[in-house]
Structure 1
Amino acid sequence: MISDRRGITINVVQPGPIDTDANPANGPMRDMLHSFMAIKRHGQPEEVAGMVAWLAGPEASFVTGAMHTIDGAFGA
């Protein structure tokens, strides 16, 4: 059970292909990565940040022990 008597929640955010310097959307792996994705594009850092901000906010106070995948349905 994931709980904390102080009200701290514990979650995991696992991003897929995100457009960064280390994994650019126009890089050599783009076509291969996009072929496995339902949404045929790299994600943006802001999209991951939005999930993290939501998890840190009061709207997610009852969300804990969960893995949140943000990957454009990679491998779906």
Structure 2
Amino acid sequence: MGASGSSPASSVSASVDAAAPDTPAVSAEKPKCKACCACPETKRVRDACIVENGEENCTKLIEDHKACMRKMGFNI
């Protein structure tokens, strides 16, 4: 019984440890504005590229905008 009791605890610990690095970052930095208003400079360039060239041709600008949103505290 002791061995089977420690296995689930180990599984829970492992899953908690895996989730732990993400959780503090999200709760430590709460967004200071709404998502629609965050990162207007990267959003504008990204949107223009998508309209003119299609989403598949703008992956760098999309990733830049996502990085900016993460810095602003959004979980994207």
Q: TM-score range by the shorter chain?
A: under 0.3
Q: Between Structure 1 and Structure 2, whose CA radius of gyration is higher?
A: 2
Q: Tell me the TM-score normalised to structure 2 length.
A: 0.27
Q: Normalised by the size of structure 1, how large is the TM-score?
A: 0.27
Larger strand proportion of the pair: 1
